[in-house]
Structure 1
Amino acid sequence: MKKVLFFILFGTVALGCKQNSDNMSHKHTNALIHETSPYLLQHAHNPVNWEAWHPDVLEKAQKEDKLLLISIGYAACHWCHVMEKECFEDETVAQVMNDNFINIKIDREERPDVDQIYMDAIQMISGQGGWPLNIVALPDGRPFWGATYVPKDNWIKSLEQLAELYKNDKQRVTEYATDLANGLQAINLVENNVDSELYSLEQLDSAVQNWTQYFDTFLGGHKRAPKFMMPNNWEFLLHYATTTNKPEIMEFVDTTLTRMAYGGVYDQVGGGFSRYAVDVKWHVPHFEKMLYDNGQLTSLYAKAYAVTKNDLYKGVVAETIAFVQEELLDKSGGFFSSLDADSLDGHGSLKEGAYYVWTKEQLINLLGNDFELFQAYFNINSYGHWEEQNYVLIRDKNDEEIANSFGIDIETLRKTIKKGLATLKNERNKRPRPRLDDKILTSWNGLMLKGLVDAYRYLENEAYLDLALKNAEFIERELIKEDGSLYRNHKNGTSTINAFLDDYATVIDAYFALYEVTFDEKWLKLSKNLLKYTKKHFFDNESGMFFYTSDQDQSLIRRTIEVDDNVISSSNSMMAINLYKFDKLFRGEGYGETSNQMLKNVQKDFDRRAQGFSNWLHLVLFNNKNFYEVAIIGDDYMDMAQQIGKEYLPNSILAGSKKNGNLDLLKNRKVPGKTLVYVCQEGACKLPVSTAKEALEQL
């Protein structure tokens, strides 16, 4: 049986298929027309009888004993568009799908709970995954076949074989699906480790040393292609390098952040980062631009600026926020999800990167006498060439090197480059824009909110705080329900889908950070209320971890427990850090014990693969190094807090008030006529000081 399924899976990926032309007529309309997700709406006029993921659809499948064909993707996914053109818009393909399956389209960004399970399934089946993710499952949702992109002829052949197999040998298909479902449950088990000690600093040093063998010390990032910008990896290493005084690790972080900022993966013209680079030098990106990358990278570069005072990092923060504000900000204060990788080229065809690339002739015509300097600065040469006649702007020298080679001063260089980039942006604005995914996702907004808070904290730009407060108020107004729970999704004034653990974890973190820069207890209270709700409805007493889905929602095959830190940190690692910080302000409520137990449950994997648990590793540093609660009381508490807060102090939290506050940390500390700083550990405080300099010396 397994051999048959294996053959069907891998026998489908060899041949190509000519792409159909765009069909703008609405000859067909399916049930997706009632959805709000831009990705689902893109498929609403396919001849395939698509359904959205709803419990009644699964009930219908079981009643009719019909296989499910589940296709998962997202709006900015290039290969999802290709497969739609080749297969899902084709009436012959649609007939095979409609006759034999109940067809379900899923936006993975709306339903990560479903995507996680089926992504694990395809990796168990084939050893690889990606999107579009296509799964064939029993009527109850248990998968038994999967593939990513499949050309038309092979897609038809595979589906016909699978339908025939289910018709003629249902028992064996069911046995395989049962085995796979058992495997999906087994790989997600987390044991409650009650015996071990917490991970030591010596163990952490060894784990990081193992990790360094993958460092690309010349181009930054890891020695591989494609290269992903892994914000939690570099943020942990920044924390580790500064806290343990490891200059060689700091140098690697600097190299990575500089090369990323120099690369084509960073939009030199309009700011903001694309998804990842397909090469080793951060040059040619997969051109989709996602809110979650840009939110996390805003935080990372702001913190790196606090450590290094490198103006390059400050510029990246400013330009990234400007991009998000210009392209992804809704008038409500929420942030949209992404920009597509594809846009219309000069011939009217959808092409990846068409909006962002330049020919040499275009640059000569636009820049005139400044072209020679621009050419050297952004490598309009073999180093910067992509494909056909197109160049993707990439730097490989700093301003001083370029200025010296042209015999000009730095200011003249920067003014000329800034003028050239403004010219290109003006020209680019005339091009057809990439499609916008205008759904608003709670967790991604939480990440962007945290980015704005960090940008304000470390760069001291009031505009960033204003933007953060508008977003925080949007989340409070539109995404928090009366019962204290969250929605996952918001579109056109309507919020839908119950939130998942990452939605709670990111908003709890962002609201806590917002309290640390405003000392408005409203944000701390909202953060704590969300934490209480999460403990009540997501926590698993048996494993000591949090489920990804609430006990208020139906589960499919399993309730996932997410622990691996990927491009976005795992929801459990974020929750463990949230709990650790809340324990410092609300001692005796059990938050610290839960956080430590969660850390114990996963720490056995740190030796083997530290980079896959990098967000967890902050807790190792918190537990092994001094962690401080900093209380600031008095008339000038806000000014004092800004002076302290702009320094990079990862092993600390801030609390402040004009007078004695409600928190235990702020009670009975007010001295009339003075603004005092109390540096405390576990609630025990050193003698108060009256200047930021003295406080920082204690820290």
Structure 2
Amino acid sequence: MRSLFPFLVILLVLSACQESGNRLARSNNPYLLQHAQNPVDWFPWEEDAFEKAQAENKLIILSIGYAACHWCHVMEEECFEDEEVAEYMNAHFISIKVDREERPDIDEIYQRASELTTGKGGWPLNVICLPDGKPFYSTTYLDKEGWLNLLSKIQEHYLEKPDELITAATKITEGVQQSQLIFEEKGESAFSPEKLDSVFSLWKEDWDWRNGGFKGSPKFPLPNNLKTILDYGILAKDSSSLNFVQLSLKAMAAGGLYDQIGDGFARYSTDSAWRIPHFEKMLYDNAQLISLYAQASRAFKNPEYLEKAKLVMQFAEKEWQGKDKAFSSSTDADVAGEEGKYYSWTLAELQEHIAKEDWPLFSEYYGLEDIAKWEKDLYILQTKPSAFLQIQEKFEISSKALGLKVTEWKSILAEKRNSRTKPSIDDKKLSSWNALMLGAYLELYRASGSAEYLDKAKALASWFESQEPLLHSQRLQKAGSQAFLQDYAFASSAFIDLFLLSANPDYLKQAESWMQEINQQFKVKDSPLFYTQSKNSSTLVANGVETADQVLPSANAVIAHNFLRLALLLENQDYRKQAWSMLRQMQSRIENYPDLHAHWLNLALKESFSFYEVAVTGPKAQEMALELEANYLPQALIAWAKESPLSLFENRIHPDSEWIYVCQFGTCKQPVQNVEAALKQLELP
């Protein structure tokens, strides 16, 4: 018995550890686990919470955030870790915590409620609901005093005049439901180049011609918007659009938005000049920006853009990639409750690490005299692209020598920074965001021609292929929630691209299979559009239909692009009709709000300008296709094959010679045998 005693003690300790904390301690979600030791009696989103609220006639506090969110951490520290606040919340409310990344469907609906009632949203989003989940009040960050004051007033109102809150909740819920209804089709005719010129003229009023990006602050990179502007600039031969894209790319890479020491982009800048970042780094931003910079390197024949894309990919692989080749979601903004602590420097720290003879050049290069100053005598390193030549002249240093110095400084400071406590990583893996990374690998392959990136894309694709059915999230080899529309849409898009570059028909079959599941599981009745969550999922107070772009392109817009590409590859007229029907449904909104519908607008470009499917065949088809891809061609879908059962390649494959067929919805020009001739056929009028 004596020998068993230590083991019994260990078991009791482990049991106590597992039972400590609130219900969130049983979760596998990093954001919920951050709140597992709060004295607030949190529930995850589950039926038990609503049943308890209704049984006890208590209002619900629905608090939505994410693991890398700075202001979520601040409110947790000031409110949810406070015993007085927790006591009041536990006595009078049922409190539910939701990770907006894990449950985008919930976030979508309650953000919409917040926008309808306050005109804004954001995180942390704190929504007060009736026991059945209908919202009637929402707010973002509040300090302890403000939060307790709000809760006490709401609780008093609920006890004295519950009918008023019930009426308000009913009206707000009806408003959310109405906002999700599918509006009548407005598009009467196809988009034309002239109509698009008018749309872009309207949009240009919102472009920041001084700093790049879009007017106002905080300022988000919005790579999806910049890609559409890039494509329009090429197709319409609009030099101002092309200049704006280059201005934006250079400004973002030079500013504090970009981590000058460790690489990677922050989620947004708090100012309009990209100087001061909101320090969290998100997988979805960096994936899209890798793709954009790689595409720009082809469009502008600028190797600096490709180098930036490669550096960001190296950062992502080092920071987030696991043994299964999939990527984690984000890196926190805070360390020990201090925002930007890991990324900022004092002058004394910098002077300690940088050689005295280098200091004047270093200080000038990184803007220590002006742009790099932040707060509390801290500095965020950044550069001025427009000042490079002046710096070289002032210090009589060549571009190559300056580059070597920058590499040396970066190495020194990276080593010193790595000794600091690092921000935490949200290690859940989301299918939609990983699909963007798969696409980023493929854009690097197109831009560089290096098979390394294609091989890495295939390795990441294996992670998707291991899922049956497709999941939205995974963590520590445990399945999370089932896939949402965005997961199916983004994964299908990435697998279509992977087929185009690998010629492996299994990828195309998988993409089409996912698109068929979209048609079966997410289709809105009597509409060409699709719900955010499966029709078989548990019902929320409203069914979301996401049509506008946010920091990610609209899943519905991605689906429309997928249908068009499948139509061309499979010569399937039904898919083609679906794509154009979805575009017609959105036409009025695209024309009036291009900034919110950039990915739809990109589809309109394909309708307005000549859009080609290009079939490359023969023993060296892959090499010829890659040579074509080295040119950024938004007007073309390029596929290659040495052998293939697809009708796209029927009677077009010759075992001893290479041929390129430039076609438009099945009608082809005279086949040619070299890339130069094909490029002439693809020239825009």
Give your verdict on TM over 0.5: yes
**Which letter does structure 1 place at the counterpart of 2:28?**
T
Give the 5 Å matches for 1:57-72.
57-72=49-64
SS in 2 for 1:672: coil
- Amino acid in the other structure paired with 1:332: D
Contact 1:67 1:139 in 2 (8 A): yes
SS in 2 for 1:217: coil
User: Partners of 1:315 and 1:260 in 2: how far apart?
Assistant: 14
Following superposition, the deviation at residue 589 of structure 1 comes to 4.7
Q: Distance in 2 between matches of 1:27 and 1:364?
A: 49
2:190: which partner in 1? 198
The match for 1:375 is 363
| CA contact 1:377–1:397 (8 Å) conserved in 2 | no
Is 2:388 the partner of 1:392?
A: no
The match for 2:225 among 220, 229, 233 is 233
Contact 1:370–1:420 at 8 Å: present in 2 too? no
- The answer as to 2:476 corresponding to 1:492 is yes
Deviates more, 1:193-202 or 1:75-84: 193-202
Structural mapping, 1:285-324, within 5 Å: 285-324=277-316
Q: Which amino acid in the other structure matches residue 649 of structure 2?
A: L
Instruction: Tell whether 2:523 aligns with 1:539.
Output: yes
Across the aligned residues of Structure 1 and Structure 2, the Cα RMSD in angstroms comes to 1.6
1:628 is matched with 612
Distance 1:604 1:645, change over 3 A: same
- Amino acid aligned to 2:594: A
Q: Deviations over 1:327-364 (max 9, x none)?
A: 011111110000000014xxxxx211111112222222
Aligned counterpart in structure 2 of residue 587 of structure 1, from 562, 571, 576 = 571
Shift in Å at residue 28 of structure 1?
5.3
Following the alignment from structure 1 to structure 2, what is the Cα–Cα distance between the partners of residues 145 and 26? Answer: 35
TM-score, normalised relative to structure 1: 0.93
- Report matched runs for 1:144-163 at 5 Å: 144-163=136-155
Cα deviation digits, residues 313-338 of structure 1 (max 9, x gap): 11210110011011011111110000
* 2:396 paired residue number: 407
Provide the C-alpha distance between the structure 1 equivalents of 2:668 and 2:126, rounded to a whole number of angstroms. 57
Q: 1:461 & 1:420 partners in 2: Cα distance?
A: 29
Task: Pick which of 249-258 and 650-659 moved more.
Answer: 650-659
Partner of 2:458: 469
- The equivalent of 2:667 in structure 1 is 684
Equivalence for 1:177: 169
Q: Secondary structure at the match of 2:592?
A: coil
Structure 2 residue identity aligned to 1:455: L
573, 577, 585: which one pairs with 2:561? 577
Whether 1:436 and 2:425 are equivalent positions in the alignment is: yes
Distance (whole Å) between structure 2 residues aligned to residue 160 and residue 217 of structure 1 = 48
Contact 1:76 1:340 in 2 (8 A): yes
In structure 1, what is the Cα distance between the partners aligned to 2:201 and 2:537? Answer: 42
Q: Check whether the contact 2:53–2:94 (CA below 8 A) recurs between aligned residues.
A: yes
Name the CA distance, whole Å, in 2 between partners of 1:319 and 1:194.
Answer: 44
CA–CA distance in 2 between the matches of 1:658 and 1:551?
A: 41
Equivalence for 1:7: none
Which of residues 339, 353, 356 is equivalent to 2:340? 353
The CA deviation at 1:388 is 2.0
Inter-partner Cα distance in structure 2 for 1:334 and 1:67: 40
- Partners of 1:354 and 1:185 lie apart in 2 by 43
1:427 is aligned, of 408, 416, 421, to 416
Moved more, 281-290 or 388-397: 388-397
Alignment of 1:12-23 (within 5 A): none
- Secondary structure of residue in 2 paired with 1:225: coil
SS at match of 2:397: coil
Deviates more, 1:358-367 or 1:201-210: 358-367
1:603 aligns with 2:587: yes
**Do the aligned residues in 2 keep the contact of 1:655 with 1:666 (CA within 8 Å)?**
no
- Asked if residue 167 in structure 1 is aligned to residue 162 in structure 2, the reply is no
Note if contact 1:122-1:129 (Cα within 8 Å) is conserved in structure 2. Answer: yes
CA deviations on 1:552-593 (whole Å, 9 max, x unpaired) are: 201212111111112111111111111111111122351111
1:161 to partner: Cα distance: 2.4
Q: Is the 1:136–1:144 Cα contact (8 Å) retained in structure 2?
A: yes
Distance in 1 (alpha carbons) for counterparts of 2:633 and 2:612: 9
Matched, 1:93 2:114: no
Partner AA of 1:256 in structure 2: S
- 1:363 and 2:347 matched: no
With 452-461 and 544-553 compared, the bigger mean Cα shift is at: 452-461
1:15 maps to: none
CA deviations on 1:287-326 (whole Å, 9 max, x unpaired) are 0000000000011111110011223211210110011011
User: Unpaired runs of 5+ in structure 1?
Assistant: 1-24, 345-349
2:635 is the alignment partner of 1:656: no
- Partner residue of 1:75 out of 48, 62, 67: 67
Stretch of structure 1 that moved more, 202-211 or 605-614: 605-614
Q: CA offset at residue 407 of structure 1?
A: 1.3
Are 1:248 and 2:237 counterparts? no
- Give, as a single letter, the amino acid of the residue that structure 2 aligns with 1:439: K
Identify the residue that residue 435 of structure 2 maps to in structure 1: 446
Q: 1:610 to 1:691 in 2, by over 3 A?
A: same
CA contact (8 A) 2:663 2:669 kept: yes
Residues 196, 600 of structure 1: 8 Å contact kept: yes
Secondary structure of 2:393's aligned partner: helix
For 1:452, what is the secondary structure of its paired residue? Answer: helix
Match of 1:567 among 551, 555, 559: 551
Task: Kindly indicate whether the alpha-carbon contact (under 8 Å) linking 2:186 and 2:586 is maintained by their aligned counterparts in 1.
Answer: no
1:550 offset after TM fit, Å?
0.5
Identity value in percent: 38
SS in structure 2 opposite 1:434?
Answer: coil
Equivalent position amino acid for 2:391 in 1? I
Q: Work out whether 1:215 is the aligned partner of 2:203.
A: no
Partner SS for 2:615: strand
Q: What are structure 2's unaligned runs of at least 5 residues?
A: 1-16
Letter in 1 for 2:465: E
> Is 1:37 matched with 2:29?
yes
- What is the aligned partner in structure 1 of residue 14 from structure 2? none
Shift of 1:472: 1.1
C-alpha distance in 1, partners of 2:119/2:38? 30
Q: Aligned match of 2:651 in 639, 646, 668?
A: 668
Hey, what's the Cα distance between the residues in 1 that align with 2:395 and 2:298?
A: 32
Deviation at 1:672, TM superposition (A): 3.2
Query: CA offset at residue 165 of structure 1?
Result: 2.2
Distance 1:456 1:316 in 2: 14
1:5 match = none
For 1:679, the aligned partner's letter is V
Counterpart of 2:623, as a letter, is D
- Deviation, 1:626, is 1.1
Select which of 445, 450, 453 maps to 1:456: 445
2:413 and 2:622 mapped to 1: Cα distance?
41
1:518 counterpart letter in structure 2: S
Amino acid at match of 1:407: E
Q: Assess if the C-alpha contact under 8 Å between 2:590 and 2:600 holds in 1.
A: no
SS in structure 2 at match of 1:274: coil
Point out the more displaced range, 463-472 or 260-269.
Answer: 463-472
The answer on 1:416 being equivalent to 2:405 is: yes
Corresponding residue number in structure 1 for 2:125: 133
State which drifts further: 368-377 or 418-427.
368-377
Distance in structure 2 (CA, Å) of the matches to 1:541 and 1:176: 29
Separation in 2, partners of 1:658, 1:311: 31
Closer, same or farther: CA 138–696 of 1 in aligned 2, 3 Å = same
Q: Residue 194 of structure 1: CA displacement?
A: 7.1
The Cα of 1:502 is off from its aligned counterpart by 0.9
* 1:119–1:129 contact (8 Å) kept in structure 2: yes
Change in Cα spacing, 1:696 to 1:195, as seen in structure 2 (3 Å) is: closer
Q: Which residue of 1 aligns with 2:10?
A: none
Deviations 1:628-678 (A, max 9, x none): 11111111111111111121111221222113x111001121223101111
- What is residue 599 of structure 2 aligned with on the other side? 615
